[in-house]
Structures are given as structure tokens and as C-alpha cells.
Structure 1
């Protein structure tokens, strides 16, 4: 990643400047990258205290972390379906799917390893059995493979878009139309690396979301929306609803939850329904995760 410092004037240290430009990286993390030689200015090694001048080209290399082998942990799970090949969980909001930097344990993978004893090894030591992911704050259906054959079958189905993925979202405001389709490209946000964004054709990856308003609530300036995913891009629903002018309620990245009239204490996104072909039998498996209680105010005229 390269930053061109059009807004620098030589008064800020390199670590201070990058901490402001890249809020997802702590200042200590930036200093460690500088010390390791992973940050240069105009192609030359830099120090944390090096002043940044207008027009400098800062090159930043963030190495991929070496994953640690996930360990079993006794964490309660709500199991929607299980056999010798797969397990489908109703993931709770706030639970991280797999270990990563900042979340070395206490994840869904740790919980499923404790419950199952073993999972498919295709995802590596940090992501065993993981076929698809849900954001930390998203609740609902997620399928995990117990063996390599199941893993390969499921990843192929997700890649070929033969699965069915339906979400319930509560969004800010009231869409003018009752339903529609968003078809854009989604890629990494050019400035904030924590975000994804709608990008120009030719960059990013195509993303398709069908949406339908199920209920409008003028009293909280919000609407319950059903979203059907035809692709599986990172933050797809969150980005697409923002693109329509209706960010999700409780979204700490793409909205300002404190300013939203509807207050629920969580990101209002729930992976409601999931359907796929069983990797061993070919039978169509259709599952539904119970709608969380936070959705109750929007369910008056909608019986899930």
C-alpha cells in the first residue's frame, strides 16, 4: 500500500502521520512495522520520528500474521443441524468466527472444535472447517465442514452461487421503493482499510444483492429489509444498503449508531436462512435461524 502525503508539511513524525491516516493500525503497531523495515519513505528506510513532507511516497507492507493452531474451548453453541459431515450453527452476535490478530481465542472455531473434536483441515490451523464467514456482529446461520470432502463440496457450491443466503437487516430511514436489486463492484476503501466500498467497474469484485422492505417504522425512522445474496463479498449488505442511502442500524463502521433514532445495542444483521446441497447425499438442506429478540419491534406485520 502506498500513501502520497499531499497534506503533510514536515511538522509531523511518520508514526503520528500514519496513525491519523490508518486508524485501524495502532501507533505501536506502526512503530513495529517501521522497525522491521516494512515502512519506507520514497523507497528508503525510515524511522518512526522521521518527519513527513508534502509529496513523500510512503510504502507500507503489512505481513500476513502466522496463524496459531486453534484450541478447543467450552463455549455454548446453538446447533441448527449436525451429522458426521457438517454442523450448522446459529452464531450469536459478537462472536468472532475464527482466530485472528486481536482475537486469538474465544471464537466459533474454538467452540466447534470442543464440540466436534476435529474439523476439515483445508482452512489451515487457524480456520479449520470454515467454508464461509459472518462478521463478528452478524448473527445467524453458518455451516462448518467436519471433513475435507464436505469442505470441498461446500466451497464449490458457494463459489458457483448454488447456495441460498437470506438475511434480515434493519436499516436507517425508509427506502422509496419496496424492493430492488443492487449490482455493483465492491473493493477495499481507498482510505479507511477497515471499510469496503462500492468501486468503479474494472476494480474490486462484482456483488449482487436483492432487497425487499418487509416493514417500515416511522417512529424510529427505520425499516426491516430482507436481503438475498447472490455473491458473498465482505460487508456486502452493509455496503450496498449504505450505497442506497440506508446504513444498517447499529453499524459502527458504516454509520453513526449514537445518532440513529432506533437503538438496539447491536448491528442489525441476521443470517436468517441458508440452503445448500448436502455434500455427501446431495439432498437439499434448508435451515432457518430464529430471529433474535432485538428484531421484535419490527415484526408486528411480519411473521418469520
Structure 2
């Protein structure tokens, strides 16, 4: 089954009707539990926003439904190289390569970080994420490199998830953006929602959406571009990419956000970025077992370092 998306407008308000039941009537081939999962994962949105399965549809609302590729029944161990920044009996932090997906899905059924982790940890990973996402507490985009924490037990997974939810995890990213911001530092507080018509895109929005907060400082000014250090105070999908596109300075190499600015950047510099230039440089959190702060830093991968050198 290939991926497909449907978008429609609710014609009549149905009092006391839940979104999952409403959609089950429209798509009887899908179970209610499957629809609930898609709603909870943001694959089904209302007016571009993530909602709960209990949401009551109202006339005029735009519902977007994305049917992803079938997921594998179970991810299998694969002997693949991974870079471990820290590891003990409870968890590990890895430096994710920019050319590897975190978990199976969306055309990447094998050769993912999960496959490598299953081999490395000999299956000793948290089961909260299901058989396709064992140990995965948070995610990075396919092209984003850097720090990612993995839980080896459900208890550790739960404790780490609570820290992420409570905004207690320090997340520092390095990014190369098109153009030159006039300010050397700033705060971006703009809500983010899923794009109404383009499922793979998110969008900055002044009304609705989920609150999102990114702070940044200029680290180095480059040719037609700027190296910035960003702190994520929230963790929305594509947050840094969407926020900097909103400011007019999209990430260098981003194929989804800021295509016009990237075309101008390539014309000015002659440089073709191999991917979106985004790297999770630092991750710090309280270790659930020891109660001490664990801080990990990931060095730039070769392509990011080369980009900075070429553009300097």
C-alpha cells in the first residue's frame, strides 16, 4: 500500500460525536483503534492542528487524513555502525548519522537506527514505543544528525519522557541558515500546526496550533549564510526549520522549507548542501537512576564541518 492523503470539510456538526467514530463511519475499512493511533500521532489533523480522538467535529472544519505505509510487524537487529556518546545499564546516548532514519516507516523499513540499536543492545530496549520503535524516547528528522537518548527499560523510558514533557531537557542545536539576521540573538515564539494541504509540512501560525519556543544566537557569519546555535524550549515537529523559515532565514539545504531562499543561496555561493544543515549538538538531562545531570555533546559530522569551512 502506498502512502495517500485525503482532505475534506465537515459538512454538518454532529453533537456528542467523537472524531474517531466519525472517521470510522467514513472509512469503515479502518478500525477505530487504528484511527485513534493516527489521530494521536498527528497523521490526522483538524484545521492543520493535532487533536485528540475525543474531539467533536464541527461544520466547516477541514480534516486531513494521511494513510502511511504499513509498518513492519517487528524491527530486526542489524549489524550496523553507530557512535555511542554514553552508555550504562539504563540508557545510552548516540550521535545519529545524518543519513539514517531513527525507526522503520515511510520507505525506511530496514537499516534504521532502531535496527542498529537492537543489535548493539541485544534486544534490551524499552518496549513502550512498540515493536517498531523500541527504546526511542524522542526523534530526529532523517537528515538531522546528533544527540539522541535511548532507553533500555520501560521505567527509564517513562522517566525520560516526563522530563521531555516538562521541558526539563536541555536541547542545543547548531544550524546553518540562509541569509544574515540583523540581530545577534533572539527569541522565536510562534505556534506551529500541521499544514492543511501538505501533510509533510508544518506551518507557523498566529492562530491555533501548538505553542513553540526557540531561542538562538549567532555563532559565526558566513557567505550568504549564518551559523546559529539554537535552544529548543519546546519540541514541535520541524520546529527549528519552521521557525527560521518564518523569520525569512530557512536552513541551508532544506528541501521542504525555503526553496526560493535556498535557490538564491546556491546562486550566490555555488555551494550545494548535501542535506538540511541541522545538528543536535548537546543534550542534557537528569539521569533517572543516579539523579545527576548527564550532558552529552556530539561533534559535527563531516558534511556539516565541510559546509562551515567552505562558507567561511
**TM-score, normalising length: structure 1:** 0.77
Tell me: CA distance 1:198–1:176, structure 2 relative to 1, closer, same or farther (3 Å): same
Q: 1:148 aligns to what?
A: 154
TM-aligned CA deviation for residue 295 of structure 1: 2.7
The structural deviation recorded for 1:109 is 0.4
Q: How does 1:206-217 map to 2 (within 5 A)?
A: 206-217=211-222
1:268 aligns with 2:277: yes
- Match for 2:111 among 84, 90, 106? 106
- State whether residues 173 and 221 of structure 1, in contact with CA within 8 Å, keep that contact through their aligned partners in structure 2: yes
Matched, 1:231 2:243: no
List gaps (5 residues or longer) in structure 1.
5-34, 39-56
SS in 2 for 1:79: strand
Which residue number corresponds to residue 125 of structure 1? 131
- Name the count of aligned residue pairs: 251
Counterpart of 1:186 (choices 157, 182, 192) is 192
CA distance in structure 2 between the aligned counterparts of 1:234 and 1:37, rounded to whole angstroms: 29
2:96 aligned residue (82, 91, 101): 91
Report the Cα distance in structure 2 between the residues aligned to 1:142 and 1:194, rounded to whole angstroms: 22
Normalising by structure 2, report the TM-score: 0.75
d(CA) in 1 for partners of 2:263, 2:143: 17
Quickly say closer, same or farther: Cα 1:58–1:243, change in 2 above 3 A.
closer
- Is contact 1:215-1:299 (8 Å) kept? no
1:204 Cα shift? Answer: 1.6
Report deviation, 1:59: 7.7
- The structural deviation recorded for 1:58 is 10
The partner residue of 2:305 within 274, 277, 295 is 295
Query: For the residues of structure 2 that align with 1:115 and 1:280, how far apart are their CA atoms?
Result: 21
Q: State the secondary structure of the residue aligned to 1:112.
A: helix
Give the greater-gyration-radius structure (CA).
1
Q: Is the 8 A contact 1:98 1:127 kept in 2?
A: yes
Question: Which residue among 2, 6, 10 is the counterpart of 2:7?
Answer: 2
Would you say 1:77 and 2:87 are equivalent positions?
no
Q: Structure 2 CA distance, aligned partners of 1:253 and 1:59?
A: 22
Distance in 2, matches of 1:91 and 1:159, equals 22
Aligned counterpart, 1:173: 179
> How far did 1:193 drift?
1.1
